[in-house]
Amino acid sequence: MEFKYDEVLDLWVAETEFRDTKIKVRLYCRKGPDFLSLGSKALSDVNSHWELLKNAIVSELLPQYDKQDLTADEFFSRLVLRTIDLDTVDIMYTLFWSDSGLFGGHSIQVLWDPNEQFHADVSLVG
């Protein structure tokens, strides 16, 4: 991963492959830390908590989607992870998924503190 500074967003951004999808990893931090190490940690943390993240999203949003009868796996398979943000000051992840039109084009935002017992706040945004 090669991180580049985005002056508009005031963060460091890299594109990478994750679970067969191209995503962005964005780091909110000051210049100087080992970006590759932070980016790798973010990918590893998300990957190791994938099932917990999936369960949090499905339990929050599947009941709100009432247009088709979908299983939890079918529902989740339509969502596409687009961005992993790591705030190195507050040590918080914000993940954004594309809804693939399930909720009228809204993004799905998941907030998660990796230093606490797993709990994810899931919401529709945009």
The angle formed by the CA atoms of residues 72, 77 and 80, to the nearest 5 degrees, is 130
Tell me the C-alpha distance between 64 and 28, whole Å.
Answer: 32
Domain chopping of the chain, boundaries: 4-125
What is the CB-side half-sphere exposure of residue 3 using CA atoms within 13 A? 23
Question: Over the stretch 70-107, which tens digit does the pLDDT of each residue have?
Answer: 899 999 999 999 999 999 888 899 999 999 999 998 99
Tell me the C-alpha distance between 103 and 107, whole Å.
Answer: 8
> What is the pTM assigned to this prediction?
0.90
Q: Specify the pLDDT at position 29.
A: 83
* Average pLDDT rounded to a whole number, residues 57-71: 86
Maximal CA-CA distance, the chain:
49
Strands 107-112 and 21-28: unpaired
